Amino acid sequence: MTRYFRPSVDMPKIYLYRQPVDFRKAALGLAAIVEQELAQNPFDGALYAFTNRHRNKIKCLFWEDNGFVLYYKTLAEDKFRWPKKGDEVISLTGQQINWLLDGYDITAMKGHKKLHYESVF
């Protein structure tokens, strides 16, 4: 199935806010969290992902040229596997945010570590 309304895998800056938020908040309320709690600029082109207390909804906030885009997904029966404890916000790749939207546990999905050698001897 083609997914047309998804964050781009090429999006350079994606941040996941770990604490649940009140989902009565619309774009400006979420932008206020970005500014006040994360000390970041919500107008810089980054995507910010939020979840509710039950972890069955996700809102993604993104500033596009002249207004906010709000992506909202509600699960019918399951919960999102939201990263627990740690810093208030973590950085994600475009692939990771899409894995999260698909229901994967992104904290468990780690590739092999990169190795760097100077010589075979």
Residue 69: which residues within 8 A CB-CB, separation 6 or more?
Answer: 61, 62, 63
Q: What is the DSSP letter of 53?
A: T
Q: pLDDT averaged over the chain?
A: 87
The model carries a pTM of: 0.82
Q: Answer whether 50's CB lies under 8 Å from 59's CB.
A: yes
Tens digit of each residue's pLDDT (9 = 90 or more) over 48-92: 999 999 999 999 999 999 999 999 999 888 888 887 766 678 888
Q: Is the pLDDT of residue 111 over 60?
A: no
Domain chopping of the chain, boundaries = 14-102
CA distances from 98 to 9, 30, 68, 115 (A): 8, 20, 20, 27
Question: Given this model, what pLDDT does residue 115 score?
Answer: 72
The percent of residues in the chain predicted with pLDDT above 90, rounded, is 50
Residue 70: which residues within 8 A CB-CB, separation 6 or more?
Answer: 26, 27, 30, 59, 60, 61, 62
Would you place residue 113 in the very low, low, confident or very high pLDDT band (cuts 50, 70, 90)? low
Residue 117: which residues within 8 A CB-CB, separation 6 or more?
Answer: none
